[in-house]
Amino acid sequence: MISARRLILSILIIIGASCSRRDPTLDFAKYLQQEKRLRAKIRNTQVLEDSLEIMKKRYKIDPDHELMRLQKEPADWVELLRKLRRAK
């Protein structure tokens, strides 16, 4: 009986982990908002570039890769715009 419970629990954990993937569109929307704030706040080019690199590492995001992904999946553009609009 205990092994059946462990099996069921293991299956539920696997299902839960696979369903709770991070939303790359939401992460990209947050990144874009932060980038906009930084660009408005920081005028020094070198400081801005350093700050953007740190932010890319923090969000674990590559903007060029995200834009290519959005090109391949146009429906995600709509989702990105909605998330950006909600965040204002």
So what's the pLDDT on residue 25? Answer: 81
The mean of the pLDDT values for the chain is: 83
**Digit-coded pLDDT (tens) for 8-21:** 777 767 766 666 56
Helical H segments across the chain, by residue range: 2-19, 24-41, 45-59, 63-72, 75-87
Q: Give me the residue spans of the domains in the chain.
A: 22-87
Query: Residue 46: is its pLDDT beyond 90?
Result: yes
So what's the pLDDT on residue 26? Answer: 84
Closest-CA residue to 30 (of 70, 68, 84): 84
> pTM above the 0.85 mark?
no
